[in-house]
Amino acid sequence: MTGLDEAADEAQDETERLCAVTRAHLPVAEMIRFVVSPDGEIVPDTDAKAEGRGVWVTLNQGLVEEAVRKKAFARSVKAEVKVPENLAELTRERLGQRLLQSLAMARKAGQILTGAGKVKSAIEAGGILALITATDAAADGRNKLAQSLKGYTMAAEEAGLNRPRIPHFELLDSVQMGLALGIENVIHAALTNGGAAQAAVLRAERLARYIAGKMG
């Protein structure tokens, strides 16, 4: 980063940062921070709370891979650093771990439902923040709940209700979901109202954005 770039970065609102790859200023919600560990290695700081100077990259797996290839981290910190070749995949794993932790917190707070029947009823009652389906779910079960969610959304729109969009995430397999929730092989789940559930939605949105960047 040049002196001019640093000045421009500092001039931006504190909720925006400069992407080390694209050089675009973006809201921190659309980015991920990396820091230099005590042993001189670049590591993902998924919560953006670690001490030290951070390097920000757009929340996009493809761009993190590009940052590794183009040695963007060393340029940003103006020092030799160790950068794992699998940093992009490691970052994805960290984001997934944070989501699993948030789901576990939502379970403890009683803000998550599991089981197709309970989830379907909650959708129809308009009582969920997000639908979560395991990546290894059977097609018919996945489609039934997706249709229930679509039907609820259409009914709300036809009634003129200004309801927020309810996201549908497919990011974790049934074993991962089960371990997070303390239930064997969870296929269908729904986050309900509450602070812990909202935090889990935000974690899921970040992981989904990161993965979508790779696919894009």
d(CA 26, CA 129): 26
Q: Is 86 helix (H, G, I), strand (E, B) or coil?
A: coil
**Does 73 lie in the same domain as 114?**
no
Q: Looking at residue 200, which CATH number applies to its domain? A: 3.30.1330.30
Domain containing 42 equals: 3-85
**Does 80 lie in the same domain as 98?**
no
**Does 160 lie in the same domain as 143?**
yes
Say how many domains are in the chain.
2
Q: Nearest CA to 134 among 191, 173, 93?
A: 173
The predicted model gives 20-29 an average pLDDT of 95
For the chain, the average pLDDT equals: 90
**Does 158 lie in the same domain as 63?**
no
End-to-end CA distance of the chain: 27
Tokens of 79: 């020092």
- Residue linked to tokens 């290839």: 69
**Does 42 lie in the same domain as 114?**
no
- Residues 152-168 have pLDDT tens digits of 988 888 887 777 889 99
pLDDT at 14: 61
Of 62, 85, 108, which residue is a domain's last? 85
Of 31, 54, 85, which residue is a domain's last? 85
Between 12-16, 147-151, 173-177, 186-190, the lowest mean confidence (pLDDT) is in 12-16
Of 51, 85, 119, which residue is a domain's last? 85
pLDDT at 161: 78
**Does 106 lie in the same domain as 200?**
yes
Q: Nearest CA to 42 among 54, 30, 51, 31?
A: 54
- Residues 41-76 have pLDDT tens digits of 999 999 999 988 899 999 999 999 999 999 999 999
- Residues 95-148 have pLDDT tens digits of 999 999 999 999 999 999 999 999 999 999 988 999 999 999 999 999 999 999
Stated pTM of the model: 0.87
